[in-house]
Amino acid sequence: MLSSLILLSLATAISAECHREFLKNSTDTYINAQTLGQYENVKSLIFDFAPYNENNIPTALEGGILATPIKIDFARSVHDTVQCATFTELIAASNPHPYVIHTRMEFDANKMKASRIESIVTDKGDWLFNATGTLALNEPEKWDAIPKAQQDSRAVIQSIGDAYFDRFGNVSVVVPWGPPCYRVEGGLPAKGTLTASGDCVMEWPSTIHVPYRRYVVDEQYGVVSLFVGFPGLDRTQGEDPMPDSHVFRVEGGKLKYLHTASACVVEGCGLNSTFGGGL
């Protein structure tokens, strides 16, 4: 009896393993579906009653962005085999209606189905939106796989994402940030000051507490994605947390690259203007 239970336990553990190839196939399916506007293809990935959210709003697949074909200029995906989750960044600058879309998917490793898909869909009028700028700033960056011996641990990679958001509410938090010392915010380069020692010094608020953090970590690529709620982003909504995504590239224990996508309720985010234009 005991041996049978042990064998059953081992079989369950083996079946629950989340493979990178499965996750890659899933992100490929998602990107292809978005390119073609064939939301039906995503139905093969997701449980029948699993939530699909756009900008934190429950949305039917057929009623969301997945039903719209989009010309995608650039796509990047990372894959978390520990949490069985993925993150994908889509930049559609040359599409007739430009978008930058960040999407995370969570999977049940046993049944190989998505238990949740959520996207932050940004376009004209969202926080500093500029798809052309995002594409141009992304082009020279190198997000290649990191050799095994040089990879940071999962804990280190995630801690840098957490430190970044913790710093918004605590001036004593140190964010290890190296060159090139900028973040792609919406589609503009938010630059800091690079010291002689190679540390990047940024200007920060100090009273913002950022909740609702959801992670995807990929050690092979030194990436952590965080979906969060960012309070006060849309001035018309008071301190309500707005849909926000930050994706970080970490090398040698320091933040190297950072891209954001942040959605507002009101066009222009309550700042009496819309964002856009060239770099």
pLDDT tens for 216-270 read 999 999 999 999 999 999 999 999 999 999 999 999 999 999 999 999 999 999 9
CATH number of the 13-138 domain: 3.10.450.50
Extract the runs of DSSP E, i.e. beta strands, from 123-210.
182-185, 188-191, 193-194, 200-201
Burial 234-256 (b: 16+ CB within 10 A, else e): beebeeebbbbbbbbbbbeebbb
Q: How confident is the model at residue 273 (pLDDT cuts 50, 70, 90)?
A: low
Greater pLDDT, 73 or 271: 73
Does residue 2 surpass a pLDDT of 50? no
- One-letter amino acid at 120 equals I
148-262 CATH, one of 3.40.1280.10, 3.30.300.30, 3.10.450.50, 3.30.70.260 = 3.10.450.50
Express each pLDDT in 37-57 by its tens digit. 999 999 999 999 999 999 999
- Judge residue 259's burial from the number of C-beta atoms within 10 Å of its C-beta, 0-12 exposed, 13-18 middle, 19 or more buried: buried
Express each pLDDT in 131-158 by its tens digit. 999 999 999 999 999 999 999 999 999 9
Number of Cβ atoms within 10 Å of the Cβ of 43? 15
State the average pLDDT for the chain. Answer: 93
Please state the pTM of the whole predicted model. Answer: 0.92
Express each pLDDT in 71-107 by its tens digit. 999 999 999 999 999 999 999 999 999 999 999 999 9
- Tell me if 61 sits within 8 A of 42, measured CB to CB: yes
Domains in the chain: boundaries: 13-138, 148-262
Does residue 277 surpass a pLDDT of 70? no
Indicate if 148-262 has the same CATH topology as 13-138.
yes
Site of tokens 């969060």: 228
Q: How confident is the model at residue 68 (pLDDT cuts 50, 70, 90)?
A: very high
Q: Locate 264 and state its tokens.
A: 């507002």
Percent of the chain topping pLDDT 90: 91
The pLDDT score that the predictor gives to residue 16 is 76
For residues 211 and 121, what is the distance between their CA atoms, to the nearest angstrom? Answer: 19
